[in-house]
Amino acid sequence: MAFSERVTRLKSSLIREILAAAQRPQVMSFAGGLPSEAMLPVLEWEDLPVAFGQYGMSEGEPALREALAAEARALGIDCQASQVLVVSGSQQTLDLAAKLHIDTGTEILLEGPTYLAALQIFQLFGADCLTIPQEHDGPDLLQLRARLEKHKPAFIYLIPTFQNPSAVCYSETKRAAIAALLDEFGVTLIEDEPYRELSYDGVNAIPIAGRLQRASWIYTGTVSKTLAPGLRVGYLIASPDLFPHLLKLKQSADLHTNRIGQWQALQWIGTEKYRQHLVQLRDFYRVRRDAFQQALERHFGELADWQVPQGGLFFWLTLKQPLDTRTLLAEALNRDVAFMPGEPFFAEPERNPGNLRLNFSHIAPERLDEGLKRLAAVIRHAQAAQAA
């Protein structure tokens, strides 16, 4: 068999295996990152023009690009519709950015922890992943500066707003400082914001891309967390020096994003109906977050530390008595509980044991308490065995 060298880096996806196991209906799953089905809006299709069945532009639908640019400008990103590329979910932004920037051995900067699927695709393309530790309010600035002084990374990949998995939202101070550092060192920013609209306590900080003066940037978002992931409609907005390359890479990847999903997204983005839907969504998830926090206090108060997430879909627990949480999975699934071990979210899993990512958006409220109780029991049992 004649495979490429990159295929040797194609890992068996732990997420895939956990999610497959979590499909069993009796499993109480904290593992995925699924929106609640209860909050999927009913989509109206009767006005979809027949002409949307035809091939479209690789850039995306012009009206949707205009609407997305207007939304981004309202967030503080100085951009035009000509900088907007509609993509097949924001996961595709990572594929295009990897193609644009990464050769085997190319150094890039990431938060530790970072989004697992980003880590996987950057490693697939052969990136050398340098990590900046995450603090409660964003990356460690001293370590970021030290990295920038010693290395010339192709880009830095950041999730500043309700990060997956850590739920961290960067402070104003760190956003400003990071923008200044990237300008100073001329390092391209890739800013991933799938969770921005899922803000439960009023946080609404200006993106880092909106604070840059000179550095190149790609800002990416999606309708997957707010509207319907099944549409596979995301977008990137890029500085003018990067856009033409990303457009050609998009065209070679899949010609263009499906137009029916784009049309549907356009029925919502920027409308009063969408604003009302987002209010309902935040109210719904805030209630789930608060109930999760209470259940966590009951069952994990002595086992772990965590911040209450101000947005997003996850709690990130740090065990007071660390162990490799991947070793807990089999027993948890035996007890019909699924969760995401924290280690795979780090470029160096072995050096970062003892975290769990728990999704609070998808589990049925009546199963929450039992699920966390069982998971805590699995951890206590493993820690007792380890101590023995």
Q: Between residue 89 and residue 108, which ones bind a copy of itself under the rule CB under 8 A?
A: 89, 91-92, 95, 99-103, 106
Question: Segment contacting a copy of itself (CB under 8 A): 229-237, 267-275, 314-322, 366-374?
Answer: 229-237
Range in contact with a copy of itself (rule: CB under 8 A) among 128-136, 137-145, 146-154, 317-325: 146-154
| Residue (of 279, 262, 192) closest to 228 by Cα position | 262
Q: Are 110 and 129 in contact (CB under 8 A)?
A: yes
Q: Does 50 bind a copy of itself (CB under 8 A)?
A: yes
CB of 89 to a copy of itself, least distance (A): 5
CA–CA distance, 119 with 162 (Å, rounded to integer) = 17
> 132: Cβ–Cβ under 8 A, 6 or more apart, which residues?
109, 110, 111, 112, 139, 140, 143, 144, 147, 156
**HSE-up (13 A, CA, CB side) for residue 308:** 16
Of these, 27, 71, 139, 155, which contacts a copy of itself (CB under 8 A)? 155
Q: Is the dihedral of CA 193, 215, 83, 73 positive or negative?
A: positive
The least CB distance from residue 249 to a copy of itself, in Å, is: 7
193: phi then psi, degrees, rounded to nearest 5: -130, 65
Q: Strand pairing of 234-238 and 217-222?
A: antiparallel
**Residues in 236-295 at the binding interface with a copy of itself, rule: CB under 8 A:** 241, 245, 248-249, 251-261, 264
The piece of 30-38, 72-80, 130-138, 190-198 that touches a copy of itself (CB under 8 A) is: 30-38
- What is the nearest approach in angstroms of a copy of itself to the Cβ of residue 98? 8
List, as one string, the DSSP characters of 29-40: E-S--PPPGGGP
**349 binds a copy of itself, rule: CB under 8 A:** no
Report in angstroms how near the CB of residue 82 gets to a copy of itself at its nearest: 14
Residues 6+ positions from 308 with CB-CB distance below 8 Å = 289, 293
Give the range of 43-51, 131-139, 171-179, 206-214 binding a copy of itself by CB under 8 A: 43-51
Whole-angstrom Cα distance, residue 226 to residue 278? 7
Collapsing DSSP to helix, strand or coil, 175 comes out as helix
Task: Give min distance, CB of 58 to a copy of itself, in A.
Answer: 7
By CB under 8 A, which span of 46-54, 197-205, 288-296, 329-337 interacts with a copy of itself? 46-54
* Site membership for a copy of itself, residue 228 (CB under 8 A): yes
Q: Could you tell me the smallest distance in angstroms from the CB atom of residue 90 to a copy of itself?
A: 9
When asked if residue 307 is in the footprint of a copy of itself (CB under 8 A), the reply is no
Q: Which of 25, 26, 51, 387 binds a copy of itself (CB under 8 A)?
A: 51
DSSP, res 198: -
Q: Which is nearer to a copy of itself, 127 or 328 (CB)?
A: 127
